[in-house]
Chains A and B, each alone.
Chain A
Amino acid sequence: MKTRIHNLLAQVATETFEKLAFLFAMVDTEQGEVPPQAVSRVAVTFRGPFAGRLLIKLAQELLPELAANMLGSDETSQVTLEQQCDALKETANVICGNLLPKIGGSQAIFEIDAPRMLAEGEPDKAAEFPVALSTARLSVEDTCCDVLLFVDGPLAENGGKG
């Protein structure tokens, strides 16, 4: 089950970066700590057959390109910080919205909260979802990106609560 969820997480995340933001993304087999880089973090909380949150840690240097591509702009310098954060939040929203039915099945109904940028110093994991079920390490345009899925307990094979 964990391998299946990891593969789904990596597949949905890479497809979203490519289709939504026209950024080349691939699974990075390197493990361990993220190389030293400033990262922006966005989290989406959801509830349904299982609850949890999806977290993206993306290199800050990639944010202007992410937003410019989504806006169809050639000039990254014209993209505001607010647009950069909005682009990352929408990316997280699309990854989460596409991932959950693949895990829980098309009959499952999930309530997905608005994505939220995490403040500096705020921990990756929320108190109610302390353990990352799966982490997909991606290389997005040669920068490192982690996509983490936290859930509130073990999952059964059918995607429900174990």
Chain B
Amino acid sequence: MAVNLLIVDDSSVMRSMIAKTVAMSGLKVGEIHQAANGQEGLEQLGNHWIDLVLVDINMPVMNGEEMIRQMKQDPALRDTPIIVVSTEGSSQRIDNLLGQGVKFIHKPFSPELFRDTVKTLIGEGVINEDQDP
């Protein structure tokens, strides 16, 4: 099964980095969609079938926490797997996110960490095991 991704980050360079890292991690990637803030991310979720959301926290217009909050209130989106990719260092904020069922990856990150986190979140069937990160 190939996974359709949505990458939400206000830095275009970081979005490209994440896309490249995900490809290196061995994840079977289908379509990759991008958004520069939470509001754009929600619009993309309304327009495309997304299997996995990778979202930053600190963004203009709508931050990642608000985007996740709105996803969790929407019956069509509440079960979509989410990985937060952020520099956030507050244990309170991270615990709050983890309590909502999302995974957390701290920037800077490695392909191995992506692979392991995706495996934990959506299972091993989406990983090419013969591809070393």
In the complex, which residues of chain B have a beta carbon less than 8 angstroms from the beta carbon of A110? 89-90
8 A Cβ contacts from A79-112 to B: 82-83, 86-87, 89-90, 93-94, 96-98, 100-102, 106-110, 112
Tell me the smallest distance from the CB of B29 to a CB of chain A, in Å.
Answer: 15
Flag if A101 contacts B58 (CB, 8 Å). Answer: no
Q: A82–B13 Cα gap in the complex (Å)?
A: 10
Which positions 59-114 of chain B face chain A at CB distance < 8 Å?
60, 86-93, 107-108
Number of A-B contacts (CB under 8 A): 65
Answer whether residue A34 sits at the interface, using C-beta atoms and an 8 A cutoff: no
By a CB distance below 8 angstroms, the chain B residues around A98 are 87, 89, 107
- What residue of chain B has the Cβ atom nearest to residue A72's Cβ? B20
A109 touches B13 (CB 8 A): no
Q: Is the CB of A70 within 8 A of B17?
A: yes
Contact flag A106-B108 (CB < 8 Å), given A86-B11, A93-B11: no
Q: Does B128 contact A (CB under 8 A)?
A: no
A-B pairs, top 7 by smallest CB distance, nearest first, are: A97-B87, A101-B89, A19-B108, A106-B91, A20-B108, A86-B13, A90-B11
A71 pairs with B87, CB closer than 8 A: no
Question: Would you call B14 an interface residue if the criterion is a C-beta within 8 Å of the partner chain's C-beta atoms?
Answer: yes
Q: Which of A1-16 contact B (CB under 8 A)?
A: 16
Does A67 count as interface, using CB distance less than 8 angstroms? yes
Cα separation A157 to B86 with both chains bound (whole Å): 27
Contact residue among B13, B60, B88, B108 (Cβ-Cβ distance under 8 Å from A16):
B108
**Contact partners of A126 in chain B: CB under 8 A:** none
Q: How far is the CA of A76 from the CA of B88 in the complex (A)?
A: 30
Q: Are B13 and A71 in contact (CB under 8 A)?
A: yes
A109 to B95, CA, bound (A): 12
Q: Is the CB of B107 within 8 A of A83?
A: no
A112 touches B58 (CB 8 A): yes
Selected contact of B89 from candidates A19, A82, A89, A106, CB within 8 Å: A106
Report Cα–Cα, A18/B126, bound state, in Å. Answer: 30
CA distance A114 to B9 in the complex (A): 12
Contact, CB under 8 Å: A107 / B17: no
Partner of A71, one of B16, B86, B92, B93: B16
Whether B93 lies near A109 (C-beta < 8 A) is yes
Which residues in A have their C-beta under 8 angstroms from that of B58?
93, 97, 112, 114
